[in-house]
Amino acid sequence: MATIKDVAISAGVSLATVSRVVNNGPKVGEKTRQHVKKVMQELGYRPNANARALVTQKNAALGVVVAELRDPFFAMLAHGVETVARNNNVQILLSAGSIEERTELKAIETLMEYRVDAMVVHSKTLDDTTLINFAAQIPGFVLINRYIAQIANRCVWLDNVTGGRLMAEYALSQGHRQLAVISSDYHIDDPNERLEGIRQAIDAAGLKLDECMIGYASPDQEGGMQAMRNVLSASTDFSAVLAYNDAMAAGAMTLLQDRCIDVPKQVSVIGYDDVILAQYCRPKLTTLRYPIEAMAAKAAELAIHYAAGNQPQDNVTFKYTPTIVKRDSLVRR
């Protein structure tokens, strides 16, 4: 593959001149510029991004760490980042790491080896200290979907407590008095936060959420069925189900329907996230919109901005609040 040197020789100019042309640098005669460009064309010259990153001490790429690409949620996240990357003419270096501490760590470390200084990270398993450390080393380190007070200005996150509260309040406002909850058994903050919000709303309404009305399982369709089964075996005395996410909600609906319990006539269901599936399943899912794509875009912009040398402001953070999307799975009782 042709190098800058080849171009220089072939064009009869110096390395420096070619370099200037490549980078649209100033101080180069229009005539030579055209000539050099032509030679570049002929030789099929492409700048070596590695050499460039080495000498400039910065990598133009934008690093992204996600847990699991297959999950539509992360796909949307990646897409949000991708849009911004393209607009900024920046390449994405993507590292998927599954929800395991080891691989998540490794994903970030690999990105560091490429010296990417802009990075959007989705990490649920690494502890605060580790993340704060990374932030100290990488100027454009931005967390998505997580809040850490010490680096609040690098966090783009969703207010899950409010989200939980909203979904419960909405169900209550529609006349439901007996609520069941199906939650995730992953040991991360999100389920707890959403649950806390739900409890707040129920308490505020002067009602009680019995422990046996909460089912825990993996946060997917299968888990939704499982958790729903568990709750049903304890009690059938509820008119609405609040799910941890849309996948669980869909699973719960499937199970209810399999048992000839009509959704939403007999039991209403509400999801969380508003992934594509929410529009596809029957009945269409009433859910909480998690604006992950917009958030991801924001995170990417932030990462690029910080990496460019702009100092993060103090006392800011990027909090988003979910909103109710009314569809067909929850009706007034």
The nearer residue to DNA, 7 or 256, going by C-beta atoms, is 7
Spatial CA neighbour of 180 closest among 209, 203, 220, 206:
209
- φ, ψ at 24 (rounded to 5°): 55, 35
In single-letter form, the type of residue at position 176 comes to H
CB of 31 to a second copy, least distance (A): 27
Spatial CA neighbour of 194 closest among 245, 128, 118:
245
Q: Report the DSSP beta bridge partners of residue 286.
A: 270
Cα 57 to Cα 268: distance, rounded to the nearest angstrom = 56
Q: Which of 20, 146, 154, 194 binds DNA (CB under 7 A)?
A: 20
In single-letter form, the type of residue at position 96 comes to A
Does 1 help bind a second copy (rule: CB under 8 A)?
Answer: yes
Pick the piece of the chain touching a second copy (CB under 8 A) from 102-110, 158-166, 231-239, 321-329: 102-110
In single-letter form, the type of residue at position 94 comes to L
Both tokens of residue 154? Answer: 């690098």
Cα 201 to Cα 196: distance, rounded to the nearest angstrom = 9
User: From residue 38 to residue 67, what is the string marking binding to DNA with x (rule CB under 7 A)?
Assistant: -------xxxx--xx-xxxx----------
CB of 295 to DNA, least distance (A): 33
CB of 316 to a second copy, least distance (A): 27
CB of 46 to a second copy, least distance (A): 5
The nearer residue to DNA, 28 or 92, going by C-beta atoms, is 28
Cα 80 to Cα 30: distance, rounded to the nearest angstrom = 39
User: From residue 155 to residue 194, what is the string marking binding to a second copy with x (rule CB under 8 A)?
Assistant: ----------------------------------------
If you search the block for the tokens 């959007």, which residue do you land on? 120
Query: What letter does residue 321 receive in the DSSP assignment?
Result: -
3-state secondary structure 142-182: EEECCCCHHHHHHEEEECHHHHHHHHHHHHHHCCCCCEEEE
Pick the piece of the chain touching DNA (CB under 7 A) from 5-13, 142-150, 195-203, 311-319: 5-13
CB of 23 to DNA, least distance (A): 5
The nearer residue to a second copy, 22 or 28, going by C-beta atoms, is 22
Q: For residue 46, count other CB atoms closer than 10 A to its CB.
A: 11
Does 86 help bind a second copy (rule: CB under 8 A)?
Answer: yes
If you search the block for the tokens 């729903």, which residue do you land on? 228
Does 282 help bind a second copy (rule: CB under 8 A)?
Answer: yes
Question: Footprint of DNA on residues 21-40 (CB under 7 A)?
Answer: 22-23, 26-29, 31-33
Contacts to a second copy by CB under 8 A: 1, 46-51, 53-54, 59, 61, 68-72, 74-76, 78-79, 82, 86, 91-96, 103, 109-115, 137, 221, 250, 257, 276-277, 279-282, 293
